[in-house]
Amino acid sequence: MANHGYLSRLALGEMYGLDTLAGFRDVLHLSQLTRQVIKEQIQREAQLFFWVDHLEMYRNWEREDVIAIPRENPLITYMVLENRLISTREIRVKALCDEAPELKLFFDSERISYLIPVVFHYTLLGFVALMGDYGLSSEERQFCRYLKDHLRQYVYTGLLMERRLQEMLGLNYFTKELSLCVTPEEVYQRFFELVRPLLPVSAGVFYRYDEFRSMLVPVSRYGVEDVKELSKNEGISGFVLEKQKPLLVNDVIHQPFLVERQKEEGFLRGAVLILPLIQDEKRWGVIAFARYNGEYGVFSSDHLYLGRILAQIVVTVLASKVYYERLEHNYFDTIRALTTALEAKDSYTRGHSERVLEYVTWIAEEMELSKTTLRNLQFAAVLHDIGKIGIDEYIIRKNGKLTEEEFDQIKHHPEIGDHILASVDFLKEAREYVHYHHEKLDGSGYYGKHVGEFPWETTIVVLADMFDALTSDRPYRKALAYDEALVLLKEEIGITFDQRVYQALVQALKKRHLLPKDVAVS
């Protein structure tokens, strides 16, 4: 029977076009799809209002100019209790609107005639407001019932996705700001400032584990006047460190095995969440949170999940530079593998990005640029031609001279590359180098940018790219020797790049014995 019901629901979903809602990407997209289905099935315009956590209101996600309705509005309670198709002409609804003139004005001005509540677990997730001055037929009412049934799960999932997205954005900010800290002491000092918007608490203590003394040392605190050092098996925090597992208890006083330990940490009362900081079996410390007298509510499994993530972020930031460099190395290897795969199609350009990477690294090191700048230049060197993905392969592999139209097409590859990399946050700086790697100081490049209108470091990529092009075989000519290529490139000083960048390449080649000492090219 259950299976038949499920099949029937699928069939109805297809009949009314409701199965298309399952393809939504986010809450905004779900709203757009729903309006489209309503228009197709019952020829009505509609507005959708969904719950917005940070505003604590129901709002139309597609139109910011439309009224927002707080949860305290009596109409919200009425929709939860009724949980059915509601006409705005009902006496009770009119009475509720009379108590909220702005709502009545909105219904009148937008010609709202029906409300379809979306209720899940006795909570109003949102509602559909149907527009129009006429009633609904029995078939249209049936459609509305099925729509409500389908939307319940989709809206719940969409809002959960939105909540997780906001948490991810918050975690991203938390990670970024914490990573900017130069020393562990700065991490400790900023921790509670950064964590409280994500996880509000009444009190908290950050303990650092001193492995030489086997002690938990309080290094920062919030809402706590006094806290002492603990041995690794003292207090609730010591117990958590010993077990190496987080602890969530929403009423410490009713947990006999914790009451005795709680005496050493008086601030841990009410609801507590304690997180051990462990990585690769190394103990970094413990973070202990408490909520008092129902302030901010109790801790839930969501908070535990979030806490685990926060703990891991903190551990990662505190860990040695090796962890960060390993992660960066993995990013770099992935990017190199991608460009190698792209270049494999053309024997003449195979290995081009790797060689440009090598030359860029040599020049940047010779100029003693910062490690951050060097890293961004290396990313750009590997990715500078990734935009050619969007160019016709015939043009890329053409042996002869390009036509004017073909050249116009290939000139777009730097901006295509910029767009491809736009969603990758850690490539933000490298993107600019990719975008402008065909610019020249005198403004004669692809986009006509002059010196000062694009990062000067881009010219390092430009020189490396040109140098490899000249010293590699091409379908239309043989590779030039290094000294021959440098003679040609010298003519570009002041036009494409400046003297210091050119000189850095020459010195790098000489250091590696790739140029005869008696050859004068600078």
CB of 215 closer than 8 Å to CB of 231: yes
Q: Residue 404 is encoded by which pair of tokens?
A: 């004017």
Report the distance separating Cα 135 and Cα 440, nearest Å.
67
Q: Residue 209 is encoded by which pair of tokens?
A: 């584990």
Q: Which residues contact 185 (CB under 8 A, 6 or more apart)?
A: 219
CB of 292 closer than 8 Å to CB of 252: no
Q: Examine the domain organization and report whether 411 and 313 are in the same domain.
A: no
User: Buried (b) or exposed (e) across 114-144, using 16+ Cβ within 10 A?
Assistant: bbbbbbeeeebbbbbbbeeeeebeeebeebb
For residue 178, tell me if it sits in a domain: no
Q: Examine the domain organization and report whether 294 and 378 are in the same domain.
A: no
pLDDT of residue 7: 44
Q: Examine the domain organization and report whether 451 and 403 are in the same domain.
A: yes
Q: Examine the domain organization and report whether 76 and 215 are in the same domain.
A: no
CB of 269 closer than 8 Å to CB of 252: yes
Report the distance separating Cα 376 and Cα 327, nearest Å.
15
Helix (H, G, I), strand (E, B) or coil at 248: strand
Q: Which residues span the domain enclosing 335?
A: 322-511
Order of strands across the sheet that contains 123-131: 69-70, 57-60, 46-52, 123-131, 112-120, 86-87
Q: Examine the domain organization and report whether 359 and 497 are in the same domain.
A: yes
Q: Which residue has the tokens 């891991």?
A: 312
Report the distance separating Cα 8 and Cα 390, nearest Å.
45
For residue 520, tell me if it sits in a domain: no
User: Buried (b) or exposed (e) across 37-50, using 16+ Cβ within 10 A?
Assistant: bbeebbebebbbbb
CB of 191 closer than 8 Å to CB of 220: yes
Q: Examine the domain organization and report whether 92 and 107 are in the same domain.
A: yes
Q: Examine the domain organization and report whether 194 and 279 are in the same domain.
A: yes
Locate the DSSP E strands across 101-183: 112-120, 123-131
For residue 174, tell me if it sits in a domain: no
For residue 522, tell me if it sits in a domain: no
Q: Which residues contact 325 (CB under 8 A, 6 or more apart)?
A: none
CB of 113 closer than 8 Å to CB of 131: yes
CB of 48 closer than 8 Å to CB of 126: yes
Q: Which residues contact 358 (CB under 8 A, 6 or more apart)?
A: none
- The CATH number covering residue 238 comes to 3.30.450.40
For residue 86, tell me if it sits in a domain: yes
Q: Residue 455 is encoded by which pair of tokens?
A: 């990062």
Q: What's the whole-model pTM score?
A: 0.46
Regarding beta strands 57-60 and 46-52, do their DSSP bridges make them parallel or antiparallel, or are they unpaired?
antiparallel
Q: Examine the domain organization and report whether 295 and 235 are in the same domain.
A: yes
Q: Please state the domain count of the chain.
A: 3
Helix (H, G, I), strand (E, B) or coil at 421: helix
Q: Pick from 282, 297, 319: which residue ends a domain?
A: 319
CB of 275 closer than 8 Å to CB of 310: yes
For residue 176, tell me if it sits in a domain: no
Helix (H, G, I), strand (E, B) or coil at 492: coil
Q: Which residues pair with 210 in a beta bridge?
A: 215
pLDDT of residue 522: 57
For residue 390, tell me if it sits in a domain: yes
Side chain identity at residue 38, one-letter code: I
10-residue block means of pLDDT along the chain (522 residues)?
Answer: 46 71 90 94 93 86 87 91 93 88 89 94 92 90 91 90 81 86 82 91 94 92 91 89 93 84 89 92 92 86 91 85 58 74 62 89 93 88 86 76 84 88 80 92 90 92 93 79 91 93 93 77 59
pLDDT of residue 328: 66
For residue 169, tell me if it sits in a domain: no
Q: Which residue has the tokens 């507590």?
A: 272
- The CATH number covering residue 471 comes to 1.10.3210.10
Q: Pick from 283, 302, 319: which residue ends a domain?
A: 319
Q: Examine the domain organization and report whether 315 and 336 are in the same domain.
A: no
Q: Pick from 161, 176, 198: which residue ends a domain?
A: 161
The number of CA neighbours under 13 Å toward the Cβ of 166 is 13
Q: Which residue has the tokens 């129902």?
A: 294
Closest CA relative to residue 46, chosen from 165, 148, 132? 132
Q: Examine the domain organization and report whether 380 and 242 are in the same domain.
A: no
Q: Examine the domain organization and report whether 425 and 333 are in the same domain.
A: yes
Q: Residue 51 is encoded by which pair of tokens?
A: 């719950």
Q: Examine the domain organization and report whether 83 and 64 are in the same domain.
A: yes
Q: Which residues contact 421 (CB under 8 A, 6 or more apart)?
A: 383, 386, 427, 430, 431, 434
Residue 432 host element (H or E): helix 428-435
| Helices and strands (DSSP H and E) totals, the chain | 20, 12
Q: Which residues contact 314 (CB under 8 A, 6 or more apart)?
A: 178, 187, 191, 277, 284, 287
Helix (H, G, I), strand (E, B) or coil at 425: helix
Residue 275 host element (H or E): strand 271-279
pLDDT of residue 317: 87
Report the distance separating Cα 47 and Cα 76, nearest Å.
16
